[in-house]
Amino acid sequence: MTPHRFHGQPTTRRRFLRQTLLGAAVTLTIPVFLQKTFAAMESDAAASPIQTPTGRDGRILVVLQMAGGNDGLNTVIPYEDHLYYRARPSIGIPQADVLSLAEGLGLHPALKGLRGLYDDGALGVIRGVGYPNPNRSHFRSMEIWQTASDAAAVEKHGWLGRYFDHACAGADPAVGVAIADAAPQAFSAEEPRGITFNDPKQYRWAAQGRDDDADALYAQFNETEDADTFGGEGGGSIGALGERVISGLSARDFLQRTAVDASRTSAEVLAVTRKSEPITALYPRSALGTSLNTVARMIAGGMSTRVYYVSQGGYDTHRNQTGSHAKLLRDLGDSLQAFVRDLKAQGNLERVTVMTFSEFGRRVEENGSLGTDHGAAGPMFFIGGGVKPGLYGKQPSLTDLYQGDIKFNVDFRSLYATALEKCLGVESQPILGHHFPLIPVI
Compute the distance between CA of residue 241 and CA of residue 349 in angstroms, rounded to an integer. Answer: 33
Using CA atoms, how far apart are residues 181 and 417, in angstroms rounded to an integer? 27
CA distance 411 to 186: 17
Q: Cα separations (Å) of 16 from 11, 72, 159, 270, 301?
A: 7, 50, 33, 17, 22
Binding of residue 368 to other proteins (CB under 8 A): yes
280 counts as binding other proteins under rule CB under 8 A: no
Binding residue (CB under 8 A) for other proteins from 19, 48, 58, 67: 67
Q: Of these, 371, 379, 384, 385, which contacts other proteins (CB under 8 A)?
A: 371
Quick one: CA torsion of 107, 112, 117, 119, rounded to 10 degrees? Answer: 80
Q: Does 145 bind other proteins (CB under 8 A)?
A: no
Choose, by CB under 8 A, the member of 197, 309, 360, 382 that binds other proteins: 197
Contact pattern for other proteins over residues 105 through 144, marking x by CB under 8 A: ------------------------------xxxxxx----
Q: How far is the CB of 303 from other proteins (least distance, A)?
A: 14
Judged by CB under 8 A, does residue 203 bind other proteins? yes
Select the residue interacting with other proteins from 112, 318, 344, 407 (CB under 8 A): 318
Query: Does residue 9 bind other proteins (CB under 8 A)?
Result: no
Q: CB 183 → other proteins: shortest distance, Å? A: 5
Binding mask 147-176 for other proteins (x = CB under 8 A): --------------------------x---
Q: Which of 147, 222, 229, 266 binds other proteins (CB under 8 A)?
A: 266
Sheet containing 105-107: which strands, arranged edge to edge? 76-77, 105-107, 99-102
Sign of CA dihedral 237, 242, 245, 248: positive
For the window 208-227, what string marks contact with other proteins as x by the rule CB under 8 A?
xx--xxx-------------
Question: What does the alpha-carbon distance between residue 3 and residue 7 come to, in Å, rounded to a whole number?
Answer: 8
DSSP category for residue 182? S
- Residue 90 is a binding residue for other proteins (CB under 8 A): no
For other proteins, which is the closer residue by CB, 86 or 435? Answer: 86
Query: Is 195 near other proteins (CB under 8 A)?
Result: yes
- Least Å distance between CB 155 and other proteins? 15
Residues 276, 62: Cα–Cα separation, whole Å: 19
Per CB under 8 A, does 426 bind other proteins? no
DSSP letters of 392-438? ES-PPPSSSEETTEEPPSEEHHHHHHHIIIIIS-S-SHHHHSS----
Q: Does 35 bind other proteins (CB under 8 A)?
A: no
Contact yes or no for 97/109 (Cβ under 8 A): yes
Instruction: Give the closest residue to 406 by CA, choosing from 425, 391, 393.
Output: 393
In the DSSP assignment, the letter for residue 215 is H
Q: Give whichever of 22 and 168 is closer to other proteins, judged by the CB atom.
A: 22
| Cβ distance to other proteins smaller for residue 212 or 277 | 212
Q: Does 182 bind other proteins (CB under 8 A)?
A: yes
The DSSP bridge partners found for residue 378 are 129
Is residue 357 involved in binding other proteins (CB under 8 A)?
Answer: no
Name every residue whose Cβ is closer than 8 Å to that of residue 351 and which is 6 or more positions away in sequence. 55, 58, 59, 60, 385, 386
**Which residues of this chain interact with other proteins, rule CB under 8 A?**
22, 24-31, 67-68, 135-140, 173, 181-183, 195-198, 202-209, 212-214, 249-252, 254-256, 258-259, 261-262, 265-266, 313, 318-319, 367-369, 371, 373-374, 403
